[in-house]
Amino acid sequence: MTELLTTARALLDAFDGVATHPGLLAQVPDTAAKLSDGIRHACRPVDTADGLFVLRGLPVDDEAIGLTPGHWSTAGNAGALHDVVLLLLSTVMGTPLAWEGQQDGRFVHNIVPSPGHEAEQTGASSRVLLSPHTEDAFHPGRAHLLVLGCLRNPDAVATTAASIRRVELDAQDHELLSLPVLPILPDDAYAEAQGYDGTPQPVPTVWQSPDGPTLRFDPAFTPLDEAPEEHRAAYGRLEAELSRVSVAVALTPGDVLVVDNDLVVHGRVPFKARYDGTDRWLKRSSVRVPGRRTRPQAERFEHGYGQAAVEAHAS
């Protein structure tokens, strides 16, 4: 991890410490390509049924990163070194992804509890369970991998994770859930998408890809009451199975959790936010993996509620 931190610091210093500088973003691919085989091995594909792994040992200077921001919009350049670290790791694993309609189009998001958002189904919430879900499940251009880097977590707040390849469902449930019966609506992080005029498009929940079972799941934004009873029952059994196989991962500063967004639903347990600058603080990046075979071909025709994803490329 020393190599990774040194490389990130040199890249950040070259652009006056601004992690969102266009020049820095353009240099990330070439810089990542020069990282050692050891780092590349650590960033191997998520190739187990669990669909996740944790990288450990990245130094975090608690004083240098400053106070936990009270909202992503006030974070500015806080923790910029770790933005660059996540960009480099993400580029080793694939292509970093940003959303025009989320956190000002940044490639690395700040996930912090925010006053007034305690009960939402977003990363800014705290006192409610963040329901297990596929990241950006409403959109066909969603990430293949989700990368969460921990800067601060004094209360050991756990991220939950459950893999579709650990559940036990019978053939009839698989068949029912593979049918495009219900849409997944945009979540609370996408205000513009929630106002989209187009008709919501039904999507499958579970399907068999060439690489194994895959899912697209966000019950908090799925209108289940509109489904036939047998479909609701199958969906309920899937929820119960995901709960049964769920694991809790309490990240510590310097941990980086990599989640396969095609296999694993993730969430977060409730906690009481302090709002005093010492709260849990994660950095999040999203990654597309070229050549992945986990998505149905029909997703190409979805409107994505008008939301545009942007991939990072060298200029």
Residue 47 is predicted with a pLDDT of 81
**pLDDT for 107 beyond 80:** yes
User: Mean pLDDT across the chain, nearest whole number?
Assistant: 94
Q: What is the CATH number of domain 2-311?
A: 3.60.130.10
> pLDDT grade, residue 314 (50/70/90)?
very low
- The Cα–Cα gap between 256 and 250 comes to 11
Q: Residue ranges per domain, the chain?
A: 2-311
Q: Are 178 and 206 in contact (CB under 8 A)?
A: yes
* pLDDT mean over 288-309: 91
Residue 101 is predicted with a pLDDT of 81
> pLDDT grade, residue 313 (50/70/90)?
low
pLDDT digits (tens, 9 = 90+) for 47-104: 889 999 999 989 999 999 999 999 999 999 999 999 999 999 999 999 999 998 889 8
Residue 116 is predicted with a pLDDT of 92
The total number of residues shown for the chain amounts to: 315
Q: What is the pTM of this model?
A: 0.94
pLDDT digits (tens, 9 = 90+) for 191-242: 888 889 889 999 999 999 988 899 999 999 999 999 999 999 999 999 999 9
Give 226-272 as a DSSP string: GS-HHHHHHHHHHHHHHHHH-EEE---TT-EEEEETTTEEEEE----
